[in-house]
Amino acid sequence: MSYAHPELGTHIKKIMELDVYLPYSSTFFCITNTQDLTFEFVSKNMTACLGLEKNVLLKEGMRNFWSRIHPEDIELWLRGLNDLMEFTLAEIPVNHRYQMSYTWNYRLKNTQDEYVNIIQNTTPLEFDAEMKPIIGLAHYTVMDINIQMPITVTAKLLNENNEYETKYFNNYSQKLLTDGLSNRERDVIRLLTMHNSSKEIADLLNISPNTVDTHRRNILKKLNISSTGELIGMLKMNTNFL
């Protein structure tokens, strides 16, 4: 590997050497090259966390890794990455971009054909001529799929006090929910969260209980959840959904 800044190569070499001594855990890290879509280094915990062979990823690159992202998450994940890049180029001065840190999440299939939650945090290490980040230190945390996680992206800046302050945040699952429901379905959800029965909702909206039940089934289907209880729990975690 060669870099425009020699000290960067030295820094990355030390990161690689440190990997030998790190304990096994539910986290791993990589050196990513988004210009070539390659992994320049993959830590040993990758296999422990996901069962993936690091040599395969080093050979086949990011496309292999990305092919495992849950199909329902791909569009939101791409939109989030694009928004982070546009925000950085428009709002973050060039001399501050080395102090940025980016976080996003998605579901990824492991070698057991099970999806797990991945929280990825990437810190830029190298930039191209237009000051777009191309080399990054990416840290991945693996969490159980049963944990309900909206897809979000965050950009943080390390300030003069060496504290990260949030400069950008977006919840894409929130947008998906808002965009996917009709106004009447939103009305039904609001009344459900107030613990109204189908009959009570029907009286309040001046529709039949059967119509309310139809709305409830459609809501669950659109949001890919199994029960009204799960829906209410989701809304309690994300109060700005509706």
pTM greater than the 0.75 cutoff: no
pLDDT tens, position by position, 163-216: 999 999 988 876 666 667 888 988 898 888 788 899 999 999 999 999 999 999
- Residue 138 domain-assigned (yes or no): yes
Q: Which domain holds residue 27?
A: 6-171
Q: How many domains does the chain have?
A: 2
Confidence (pLDDT) at 5: 58
75 and 118: one domain? Answer: yes
CATH of the domain at 20: 3.30.450.20
138 and 189: one domain? Answer: no
Mean pLDDT of the chain: 87
- Rounded Cα gap, residues 215 and 220, in angstroms: 9
25 and 82: one domain? Answer: yes
- Rounded Cα gap, residues 52 and 32, in angstroms: 16
Rounded to whole angstroms, what are the CA distances from 23 to 99, 107, 119? 27, 24, 19
88 and 32: one domain? Answer: yes
Confidence (pLDDT) at 70: 94
Is residue 227 exposed (0-12), middle (13-18) or buried (19+ Cβ within 10 Å)? exposed
28 — pLDDT class (breaks 50, 70, 90): very high
77 and 159: one domain? Answer: yes
136 — pLDDT class (breaks 50, 70, 90): very high
Lowest average pLDDT, out of 17-21, 72-76, 142-146, goes to: 17-21
79 and 194: one domain? Answer: no
126 and 223: one domain? Answer: no
CATH of the domain at 233: 1.10.10.10
138 and 199: one domain? Answer: no
pLDDT tens, position by position, 45-85: 999 999 999 999 999 999 999 999 999 899 889 989 999 99
- Residue 185 domain-assigned (yes or no): yes
- Residue 1 domain-assigned (yes or no): no
114 and 21: one domain? Answer: yes
The one-letter code for the residue type at 179 is D
Q: Where a domain ends, among 171, 195, 224?
A: 171
